[in-house]
Amino acid sequence: MAREKFQTLTEQMFYILIALLDECCGVDIMEKVERITNGRVSVGPGTLYSLLNSFEKEGMIEETMVNGRKRSYKITVSGRELLESEFQRLKLLIADYQEINNRK
Amino acid sequence: MNRELQIRFYNCQLNELDSLKEYLEKKAAQGWMLEKRKGSICYFRKCKPKKVKFSVEIFDKASEFMVDYNATNEEYIEYCKAAGWNFVSAEGKVQIFYTEDKSAIPIETDPQQKFETVHKSIFKQYIKNWFIGIILGLLYLIKLSDGIVEIFSSYMSFSIILLGISMVILNTFQVIIYYRWFHKIKEKIKNGEEFYYYKNLGSLVSKIMVACIGTAWFVGVLVVSYLSGDKVLMFILLIFVSVPIFLFGSSILSVLTQKNGIMKEMKQTIYYKVIIIITFAVTGGIIIFFIAVEFFGLGNKNIKNTKYIDTDGTISWEAKHNDSLIFTLEDMGIKLQGEYNKNAEKGDSFIISKENYYEEPLGEDTEKDYLAYTIYRVKNKWLYDKVVKEVTKDNEFDFNKLEMIHIQGYKVYHTEDAMHYHSYLLLMDNLVLDLQTNLKLNEKQLQIVINKLD
């Protein structure tokens, strides 16, 4: 079910995985996503918490450090593959758009 | 120290949490800030009227028994805190936050995911309800194995079964209502439409149904317990009445606290004392009323002898006079030797009226004559046949081997066992008599029995 959920990544999922290309503390991800997207995409704390749990459960990210109540995560190989396949899918979308648009 | 507190009852389902959020924002704007929420009771503390944003969310990892800040929700709360949301209260899966920052990012930014969480939590709740329904269903089946007579001859067992069936119907209704809502919202998400978790008509109807079923059952049992003279059950029920009275009194007082200047300075301890006094006064008043009714003899006068009440609502009484028994050994011309124990038992149900009577010698003298009989009065033909079937089965009667005679147009079956004990089965209109005795009754004696029953 969860794998099915990640067949197509939402913007928030996509940017959380990007944020975790480098080790990052859970609560800092919200800020990092805002920074990467220049404030275009915001991830709410509840959404972030749930997604981190789902990603970890599916082996897309792994916990790297626990410091008190703060946990740090990093993307795994499977996570990178997922991110890459999403990137390829998005590239295909763009290519299809460009091809049809150029014909007009 | 300003201890002005306001208590409000606000009930909503897990898919109606946005309505609670709006309610809390309205209260804060009126100068009442939520302090905590326990079940459906919200505790507000007086504050300066302020415009704050509330967020009422479901934290799926929490169990239904978790409250406040705990090891399970601390990380979740930390995340929310980092986003500018202050934790207020948590009970079970429902977590309440507020912020004064108008630009704070909402806690849930993925409607699809939020919807899945809401659905999962409600689904779990329904599974739990269904589980309770199944347990009640099993209890019903166990009760059915006791026999249909046992169920229909007591209001209490019959009402419990009715309650079980009502709960199953109600659960089914709630599931249908919920799935209608579920598909509507799913479609909205698919189309990218905005929606809120507001109160819906379906859940209001199901709440009214719960209230009606609960009240009808409660009042029904109370009336039956009063009519049957079961004072213990009646008092237990009346004690239960004190709970809604307490809640009602609390709401009324809380409205007065807010609106009436006289009550404004009321301290929390006095507040509770007043509620408790009101509750005791009302409950006590009802109890005193019933005692007074009983004292002045307005209660059930039909039973003259020493009376006992069983837990299932069956009334039994030790007969001091023969008039408590429908017919006696003496009626059939049998002279009693020594002292006899006479007993009569009557169920409280009008569906199948089951009456047990016996006359047996005191002590262990097995030589003396005895009489024991059960009368079933039942008008419904289907139930009548069931009663005959069960009585036949209980007595291990084989109709092919029974002696059958017709008296005054009624069938009387007779059998005698190896110990020379006699069993009689008399089938009359709407009445079945199951009689055991050591005597072989002649036709004249059986006629007396029929005349007494007719």
CATH number of the domain within which A9 lies: 1.10.10.10
The Cα B223–Cα B218 span in angstroms is: 9
Per DSSP, the residues of B373-401 read EEEEE---HHHHHHHHHHHHHHTT--TTT
pLDDT above 70: residue A8: yes
Taking CA atoms, B156 is separated from B195, B264, B288, B432, in Å, by 46, 47, 25, 23
Q: Lowest mean pLDDT: which of A45-59, A85-99, B61-75?
A: B61-75
Q: Give A71's contacts in chain B (Cβ within 8 Å).
A: 75
What's the CA angle centered on B312, arms B307 and B313, to 5 degrees?
45
pLDDT digits 0-9 by tens, B266-276: 555 666 677 67
B365: burial class by Cβ within 10 Å (0-12, 13-18, 19+)?
exposed
Backbone angles phi, psi at A87, to 5 degrees: -60, -45
Report the pLDDT averaged over residues B386-409. 82
Q: CB–CB of B371/B340 below 8 Å?
A: no
Question: Contact B330/B322 with Cβ under 8 angstroms?
Answer: yes
Contact A17, A9 (CB under 8 A): yes
Cβ contact B372:B358 at 8 Å: yes
B69 at the A interface (CB within 8 A)?
no
Q: In this predicted model, which residue has the larger pLDDT, A4 or B200? A: B200
Distances from the Cα of B111 to the Cα of A41, A47, B107, B376, angstroms: 14, 9, 11, 63
Query: Which residues of chain B does A50 touch, with a Cβ-Cβ cutoff of 8 Å?
Result: 60, 113, 117
Q: Which of A47, A55, A57 to mutate to test the interface with B (most CBs of B within 10 A)?
A: A47
Q: Which is more confident, B241 or B112? A: B112
Q: Which chain A residues have any C-beta within 8 angstroms of a chain B C-beta?
A: 10, 12, 26-27, 30, 42-51, 53, 69-71
Mean pLDDT of B93-117: 93
Q: Which residue of A has its CA nearest to B104?
A: A44
Q: What is the pLDDT of residue B392?
A: 85
Beta-carbon contacts of residue B394 (< 8 Å; ≥ 6 apart): B147
| B176 to chain A, closest Cα gap in Å | 24
Q: Which of B:216-245 have CB within 8 Å of A?
A: none
Over 70: is that where the pLDDT of B4 sits? yes
Domain hosting residue A86, numbered range: 2-103
Q: Minimal Cα distance from B95: which residue of A?
A: A46
pLDDT band at B259, cuts 50/70/90? low
Question: pLDDT tens digits, residue range B307-355?
Answer: 444 444 455 555 444 557 888 898 988 888 777 888 887 766 667 888 8
Q: Is pLDDT at B56 greater than 50 in this prediction?
A: yes
Contacts of B107 in chain A (CB under 8 A): 44-47
Q: Which of B79, B106, B114 sits opposite A27 (nearest CB)?
A: B79
Q: B256 or B417: which carries more pLDDT confidence?
A: B417
C-alpha distance from B126 to closest chain A C-alpha (Å): 21
pLDDT band at B250 (very low <50, low <70, confident <90, very high): low
- Whether residues B117 and A50 touch (CB distance < 8 A) is answered with yes
**Cβ of A47 and B114 within 8 Å?**
yes
Please give the pLDDT value at position B146: 67
Terminal CA-CA length for chain B: 79
Q: Please, what is the Cα angle at B92 between B124 and B75, to 5 degrees? A: 110
Which own/partner pairs from A82-87 qualify as long-range (CB within 8 Å, at least 24 positions apart)? A82/A6, A82/A9, A82/A17, A83/A9, A83/A14, A83/A17, A83/A18, A86/A8, A86/A9, A86/A14
Spatial neighbors of B325 by CB under 8 A, at least 6 apart, are B319, B342, B344, B357, B359
Is pLDDT of B301 > 50? no
Quick one: tokens of A87?
A: 């990137």
pLDDT tens digits, one per residue of A59-89:
999 999 988 778 999 999 999 999 999 999 9
For residue A60, which of A13, A104, A92 has the smallest C-alpha distance? Answer: A13
Name the packing angle between helices B111-145 and A45-57 (round to 10°).
70
Per DSSP, the three-state class of B61 is coil
> How far, in Å, CA of B157 to CA of A4, rounded?
50
| Each residue's pLDDT tens digit, A37-66 | 999 999 999 999 999 999 999 999 999 998
Q: Is B86 on the interface with A (CB under 8 A)?
A: no
- What pLDDT is attached to residue A96? 95
Question: Strand, coil or helix: what is B432?
Answer: strand
Contact partners, residue B63, CB within 8 Å, separation at least 6 = B72, B92
pLDDT band for position B300 (50/70/90)? very low
Would you state the structure tokens that stand for residue B127, as one six-digit string? Answer: 């599974």
CB pairs under 8 A between A and B: 61
Q: What percent of chain B has pLDDT over 90?
A: 24
Q: Is the pLDDT of residue B291 over 70?
A: no
**According to CATH, what is the number of the domain B306-453?**
3.40.1000
N-terminal to C-terminal alpha carbon distance within chain A = 41
Please give the distance of CA B186 from its chain centroid, rounded to a whole number. Answer: 36
> Domain spans of chain B?
5-99, 111-295, 306-453
Contact assignment for B80 to A46 by CB distance below 8 Å? yes
Q: Which chain B residues have a beta carbon less than 8 Å from that of A49? A: 75-76, 79
d(CA B226, CA B220): 10
Integer Cα distance of A32 and B391 in angstroms:
80
C-beta neighbour count of B451 within 10 angstroms: 11
Average pLDDT over residues B282-307: 57
In this structure, which amino acid lies at residue B57? E
B198 bridge partner residues: none
Is the pLDDT assigned to residue B363 strictly greater than 80?
no
Least confident of A94-98, B216-220, B373-377: B216-220
d(Cα B355, Cα B226) in Å, to the nearest integer? Answer: 20
Domains held by chain A: number: 1
In this predicted structure, what is the pLDDT of residue B373?
A: 93
Q: Do A12 and B114 touch (CB under 8 A)?
A: no
Distances (CA, A) of A88 to A5, A83, A94, B299, B322: 18, 9, 10, 85, 97
Residues of A in contact with B90 (CB under 8 A): none
CA-CA-CA-CA torsion for B233, B237, B239, B241, nearest 10 degrees? Answer: -170
What is the per-residue pLDDT across B433-447, written as a single tens digit (0 to 9) for each?
A: 999 999 999 999 999
Mean pLDDT for B88-107 is 93
- Cross-chain residue pair B79–A43, CB shorter than 8 Å: no
Q: pLDDT tier at B149 (50, 70, 90 boundaries)?
A: confident
Judged by DSSP in three states, B333 sits in coil
Q: Say what the pLDDT of residue B39 is.
A: 83
Please say if the pLDDT value at position B161 is more than 90. Answer: no
Please give the average per-residue pLDDT across B55-60, as a whole number.
94
Look at A48 and B106 and tell me if their CB atoms are within 8 Å. no
Q: H helices within B228-267, ranges in order?
A: 231-259
Q: CA B206, CA B187: separation in Å to the nearest integer? A: 24
Q: How far is CA B165 from CA B127, B159, B161, B213, B215, in A?
A: 17, 10, 6, 11, 16
Of A10, A42, A48, the CB nearest to B79: A48
Can you say how many angstroms the Cα of residue B271 is from the centroid of all Cα atoms in its chain? 31
Average pLDDT, chain B: 79
